[in-house]
Amino acid sequence: MFSDISIESLIILIILCFLASFVDAIAGGGGLISLPAYISAGFPIHLVMGTHKFSATLSTLGSSVGFFRHGKLNFNILKYLVPFHLIGACLGVYILNKIDENFLEPIIIFLLILILIYTIVNKEIGLKNNFTKTTLKSTILGSMASFILGFYIGFFGPGGGSFLLFAFIKIYGMDFILSSGNAKILNLVSNLSSLIMFIYYGKVNYIYGFTVGFFMFLGGQLGTKFAIKKGSKLIKPFFIVVTTITLLKIIIEKFF
C-alpha cells in the first residue's frame, strides 16, 4: 500500500506537513498546506482524508501539549465546552451524509469576511487578555458556540480554527495566545471524533499517518513555543493571513 510513493515525495510531504503544523499551532489553517501536500504526494485518494486526519490529530495534540505546558489552557472553561463540541462534531459528520454542504458556503464566506473586517478595524482586539472569570452568560454563550462550531467543523470544516479563535476572544475576552491554546483543545476533540469514524471505515494508513504525524507533532510544539515567545502581536497577523487564505480558497472553489 502506497508503494508508488518515492522517498523524495515522502521527504517533501514531511517538510510541508511540519510547516503546516507550525503555522496551525500559531493561528490555525494548517490543513491548507498539509491536505494538498498529501494529495500531491500521490497518496490514493480514498485514503487521503483518513491518513491526513491521523497526522493532523497528532499535530493538534503536539500544540495542545505545548500550550498545556506553558499554562495557556483554562480547564474550568473547557470542561463545559468539550462535551458540546464533541456532540456537535459527531452530529455534523452524521448530517453531512444526509444533505448537500454547498448551502453553507455563502454563509461561511460572509462570516469570514465579517471576522476579517472586524479584526482589522479593531486594532487592539486580542492583544490584551481581559479575561477575569467565567459568568453564567459566558458559559451559556461559550457552550452554544462550542456546539455550533463543532457541528460546522464536522460538517464542513474550512475556517473552523478562525471561528474558534474569534469565539474565545469575543466571548471570554482572551488574547490570541490564550484563545489559541483553548481552541486547540476543541480542535483536538473534533479531530479525534472524525478520526474515529475514518478508522471505523478503514480509511487510515497508520505507517504513513504516524510517520508524517510524528513530525507534525514536533511542528505543533515548536509553533506553540514560537507563538508564546512572540506574543499576541505575532499571532494576530498570522490569524488575518490564514483567515484570508481560507476565505479565498472557499471563494475560488465555489465560483471558479
Residue that has been written with the C-alpha cell 512572540 in this structure: 230
Q: What is the mean pLDDT of residues 120-136?
A: 84
Whether the Cβ atoms of residue 22 and residue 220 lie closer than 8 Å to each other: yes
* Residue type at 18 in one-letter notation: F
Counting residues of the chain whose pLDDT is more than 70, the rounded percentage is 94
Q: How far apart are CA 256 and CA 253, in angstroms?
A: 6
Q: How many CB atoms lie within 10 A of CB 201?
A: 10
Give the pLDDT score at 74: 94
pLDDT digits (tens, 9 = 90+) for 215-254: 999 999 999 999 898 888 888 888 888 888 888 888 887 7
Q: How far apart are CA 28 and CA 26, in angstroms?
A: 6
Counting residues of the chain whose pLDDT is more than 90, the rounded percentage is 40
Q: What is the mean pLDDT of residues 43-64?
A: 88
- The Cα-based distances of 49 to 44, 163, 212, 229, 247 in angstroms read 10, 22, 14, 33, 21
Whether the Cβ atoms of residue 80 and residue 145 lie closer than 8 Å to each other: no
pLDDT(65) > 50: yes
